[in-house]
Structure 1
Amino acid sequence: MLLPLPAATVRALSLESHTALAAVIAGHATAPVVNRLFKTLYLTWFLQQGMGELPETEAFRSAEAALMLCSRCVREGREWRLAEAGRVALCRILALNDHLLACAPAHCHAEAMRRLRKLATLRALGAPSDLP
């Protein structure tokens, strides 16, 4: 559990996130695509905390706000365009996610996934964001 995730797993997870971001940037946001980016956002937050690093709160907040707006537009069937600040923040989060997936010990990833599942359950019950 002290070793990082297998390289093939890291590549697959990274590809899912980058493909989702490319779809959102191109204006092809769907609920599963936006949910994938939310998952990446919160997983990155939890991984960074698990590694003992202080997360860049502003980038996470900006990315979360952009995804919240996108999610609302998708639910309401409205057209969606990602603002530049949201795009920049999401790109930063995905780059950080790539780095953390490649170097975080497997036990940190497992704990981050546990926290992500708990957050998903709480959010389904109406709890607010986990970001400060």
Structure 2
Amino acid sequence: MSNTQAASVIQVLVNLENGEPVFNYQTTDGQPCDGDVTVTEAGTITYQLVDNTGKGLKFVGVGFITPFDGVIDAITVSSDGQLVQMLDLDRSAGTTKFQFVLTNSSNTLMVLSPVPQVKNEPE
């Protein structure tokens, strides 16, 4: 798991390989990362979509594997579908896993990302 903190921006790069979406993550300064975030204080985690597919991808939501664990308190998706912000008040210790849900302009099917995670650790 990376040491990326809340309040930083993680870019979600989506490319096509053999016609299928492939997800990678990087920091805004171009350093590759795994998309995971470790949180030690309250803040907002921002994921920014970088769509290199030509398929008009947009974030429409985030699906959580454990939505009631209290690790993430709320999410918002920007009106243009390019940003997801996760509010983490860092009140609950633990790890939560999620998948980004995206639409595309080619058909009405949804695209799911691989599973990054957020881990809350005490200070």
More strand as a share of residues = 2
More helix as a share of residues = 1
- Alignment TM-score, normalising by the size of structure 2: 0.30
